[in-house]
Amino acid sequence: MTAMTMPARPEEDNAGLRPVPWRRMVWVTWRQHRFALGGVGVLLGGLALYLWLTGLQMHHAYAAVAACHPASSYACQNQTINFDATYGQTAQTVGTLLMAVPILIGAFAGAPVLARELETGTFRYAWTLGVGRQRWTLAKLVPLAVTVTVATGLFSLLFSWYQQPFFTDGSSIPLEPSLFGLRGVAYAAWTLAGFAIGALAGLLIRRVVPAIAATLAVSTGLVFATGLYLRQHYMTPLLGRNLSNPPASAWVISGWWSKGGTVISQSVMNQIMNTLFGQIMTATVPKNVKSDDIKFYKGPANTQVLNYLLHHGYTHWTSYQPGSRFWPFQWIEGGWLLALSVLLIAATVWLVHRRAA
């Protein structure tokens, strides 16, 4: 009976017990979450079918544009413009809608995993079975996370193919915020992060619907914060001087004027330019011109304003990220989202271990 008075050590208690095999636990995960995974499959499958069918039609139309020779001729330029006008708007709308998919999958597949167990009380059953709650949590979260990540990764390959004509003809910029997250590794990484946020929110909030709502809010906020503030700092932006720079494929972050080494504020610059514009218009527009025709003088006047400024000691600066940085940016974004997801899932497992019912 001396053993009973000794302090209990969990590692001794566990000695000689083989853990429950992962394969069996994964069956449980599949059995309990197959409808969620089925929902993800139907959503992505339906969207993939749409991209495939409209993409084929669009690629067919683009083949004719690309075959046009010589490419610099007026007729060929016109064909390109027509192509962009016919398909560009739809493609842009599709892209915007698809940006919601990782967030939706994260919230609807990730948040209920733990929240439902906690809401219905079934965690008291699952967590007192031989498998142990940490392994149980891992066996739930890891296979689900891998599945939704791989599925959306494959889907974004299809989207890259769909979107290809607009990159070839130069009307889309690779780093453009509305497209960057849909291609490369970013789409899958955002889905993974959304799922991990959902899992943790489900554990903390303990109710399905509020956890889904919170996940939608947090993931959306993170997507926008990344696109608006964070992504432009992944690598030091390049500085473009005067308007011939930067290249057309660049993602322009900001522009400003300086004179004699001093930056001029936007409001001061607007005043100067408005005054110049007014003076040039007064000097160039004939008195008897019809009011409808005034607009034809505005373009040349603007060019004159810029020329005047550039010849009078003003310099226009542009801060931009070149299109060649697309893949480095993809790996940076995919990398930190993967790290964040691993961290969130590890935190979830740790909190499940710590959590006192």
Partner 1 sequence: MNVVEASGLGRRYGSTWALRECTLAIPAGHVTALIGPNGAGKSTLLNLAVGLSVPSAGEVTVLGGKLPGSAAALDGIAFVAQDTPLYKTLSVADMLHLTRNLTRRFDQAYAQARLSDLDIPLKRKAGKLSGGQQAQLALTLALARRPGLLVLDEPVAMLDPIARHDFMATVLAAASADGVSVLLSSHVLTELERVASYLVLLSRGQVRLAGQVDDLLAVHGQASLEELALNYLRNHPTEVAK
Residues lying near partner 1 in the complex (CB under 8 A) = 3-4, 6-10, 13-14, 17-20, 24-25, 27-28, 31-32, 120-122, 124-132, 136, 356-357
CB nearer to partner 1: give 17 or 283: 17
Task: Quote the crossing angle between the two packed helices 111-120 and 133-168, to the nearest 10°.
Answer: 150
Tokens encoding 212: 């889904």
In whole angstroms, the minimum distance from the beta carbon of 85 to partner 1 comes to: 50
The β-bridge partners of 241 are 317
Q: How far is the CB of 348 from partner 1 (least distance, A)?
A: 17
What are the angstrom distances between the C-alpha of 133 and each of 127, 220, 237, 350, 351?
A: 5, 30, 47, 10, 11
Judging by beta carbons within 10 Å of its beta carbon (0-12, 13-18, 19+), is residue 351 exposed, middle or buried? middle
Nearer to partner 1, 124 or 233 (CB): 124
- To partner 1, the closest distance from the beta carbon of 121 in angstroms equals 4
Total residues found in the chain within this entry: 357
**Furthest-apart CA pair in the chain: how many Å?**
114
Cα separations in angstroms, 117 against 113, 120, 198 = 7, 5, 14
Instruction: Rank residues 124 and 241 by Cβ distance to partner 1 and give the closer one.
Output: 124
Q: Which is nearer to partner 1, 17 or 248 (CB)?
A: 17
Q: How far is the CB of 123 from partner 1 (least distance, A)?
A: 8
Minimum CB distance to partner 1 smaller for 125 or for 327: 125
What's the distance, CA 305 to chain centroid? 38
Residue 321 or 348: which CB sits closer to partner 1?
Answer: 348
Type of residue numbered 4:
M
Q: Least distance in Å: CB of 113 to partner 1?
A: 13
**Closest approach of partner 1 to the CB of residue 150, in Å:** 24
**C-alpha torsion 231→155→105→229, nearest 10:** 10
Cβ-based nearer residue to partner 1, 80 or 348: 348
CA–CA dist 207, 123 (Å, integer): 13
Q: Residue 85, SS3?
A: helix
Q: For the CB of residue 142, give the shortest distance to partner 1 in the complex, in Å.
A: 16
Question: Contact at 8 Å (CB) between 284 and 349?
Answer: no
- In the complex, minimum distance from the CB of residue 105 to partner 1, in angstroms, rounded to a whole number: 21
Minimal distance, residue 140 CB to partner 1, in Å: 11
β-sheet with 251-259: strand ranges across: 238-241, 314-321, 251-259, 262-264
Q: CB-wise, 131 or 211, nearer to partner 1? A: 131
Query: How many whole angstroms separate alpha carbon 81 and alpha carbon 60?
Result: 16
**What is the distance between the alpha carbons of residues 102 and 321, in angstroms, rounded to a whole number?**
25
Pick between residue 21 and residue 46 the one whose CB is nearest to partner 1.
21
Give the chain's radius of gyration (CA, Å). Answer: 28
* Token pair 């067919």: residue: 60
Give the integer Cα–Cα distance in Å for 163 and 133. Answer: 44
